[in-house]
Structure 1
Amino acid sequence: MATDELDRFADLVRARRTHLLVDRDRDVPRELIDRLCDLATWAPNHKRTWPWRFASFTGQGRARLGDAFAHDMVTAAVGDEGKRAKTRGKYLRAPATVVVGCAAHPHPTFHDENRDAVAAAIQNLLLGATAAGLASFWSTPPVIDGRTTLDLCGFEPTDRIIGVIYLGWPTSTVNAPDRPAPTITRVEH
């Protein structure tokens, strides 16, 4: 029955949590990261521009990511040295990190639609991570267009970073915060 499937999906959506209470020493298999990125690409995308970009960081690659962001922070005059030092180490908080980027589009409407599609792709990735038993955390990078980080990720210079997703095996659970009921405007006639 379709209601049963919807109930299972609702349970999955409500089970997703943003947290970093993870086992830092337990690797997330490359195959699982690849599968999550593949699931992400099933997000809706107007005009089939396929705007998402993915870069996976594990092991010492996570430290390289922190160094790249810190370098871009200096170039963009973002934060002080204390903030940059924190950035250098922050990507070591989880055993895997996926940087998700978005291809630019010359038309402003399509550019916005591409970004929206990438955000939907990230939600697919997060739900897939939850279904696989992983904890996840969607973070905004300190600089979204830094050349050093874009190069490290293998992205184009015009791409923009939409999110940095931490992935790891949870060591604890996090309670769901209360959420207000949605406001729905109903137009029936």
Structure 2
Amino acid sequence: MIDSEGLREVIRSRRTSMFVDQTRDVPVSVVEELCELATWAPNHKKTWPWRFALFTGEGRSRLGETMAADMAHAEFGDDAKRTKTAGKYLRTPATLVVGCEPHPNDMLHRENRDAVAAAIQNLMLGATSIGLASFWSTPALTRPPAVLDLCGFHRDDRIVGIIYLGWADGIAPVPERPQVEVAHIDG
């Protein structure tokens, strides 16, 4: 049975949640540690494709306004969706944009995104282990030029996720899981 110092419990207790204490900041040093933990994700060809940009305080509003402007420029969504986007990064005290570097080789390009997704999982498990609630959101646009500039990312990078972080202040319900089926081939 797998159980290494509560790893099983951390994985099973991790919930997507924005039940957070809005008055309690998430220290930058904590997010930096979580990002370092993220970089231990599998990365087959050692391309190190992940990019991180942390938004706190008024920076979260700036992120929302910039994303809404990129959406308008791309003619994506209606005014109501853009207005919602402009304010949604204020939901938690810290908002982390996680990007991915592209690769000219199509297979490595896809593997880079997989590595970044695995990195996000590491980050979120680390967050759970220290009492942070987290929520992985898909952005309205994956290559919004002004947001990429704001994050300090390259123009060809793409955003894989926007991670909301805050100190847990409530319990998210445990979702049902389907029975796992494993095909076993022996011989």
TM interval, shorter chain, is over 0.9
TM-score, normalised to structure 2, is: 0.97
Q: Deviations over 1:85-131 (max 9, x none)?
A: 11000000000010000000011100000000000000000000000
Q: Distance in 1 between matches of 2:180 and 2:116?
A: 23
Question: What secondary structure is seen at the aligned counterpart in 1 of 2:75?
Answer: coil
Partner of 1:73: 71
Q: Deviations over 1:22-69 (max 9, x none)?
A: 111210011101000000000000110000000000000000000111
Q: Distance in 2 between matches of 1:14 and 1:131?
A: 11
TM-score, normalised to structure 1, is: 0.96
Partner of 2:154: 156
**Number of aligned residues:** 187
Partner of 1:174: 172
Partner of 1:43: 41
Where do 5+ consecutive residues of structure 2 fail to align? Answer: none
Structure with more of its chain in helix, by fraction: 1
Q: What stretches of structure 1 move > 4 A for 4+ residues in a row? A: none
Question: What secondary structure is seen at the aligned counterpart in 1 of 2:6?
Answer: helix
Cα RMSD after superposing both structures: 1.1
Question: What secondary structure is seen at the aligned counterpart in 1 of 2:80?
Answer: helix
Please say if 1:124 is aligned against 2:122.
yes
Correspondent of 1:63 among 39, 61, 64:
61
Partner of 2:131: 133
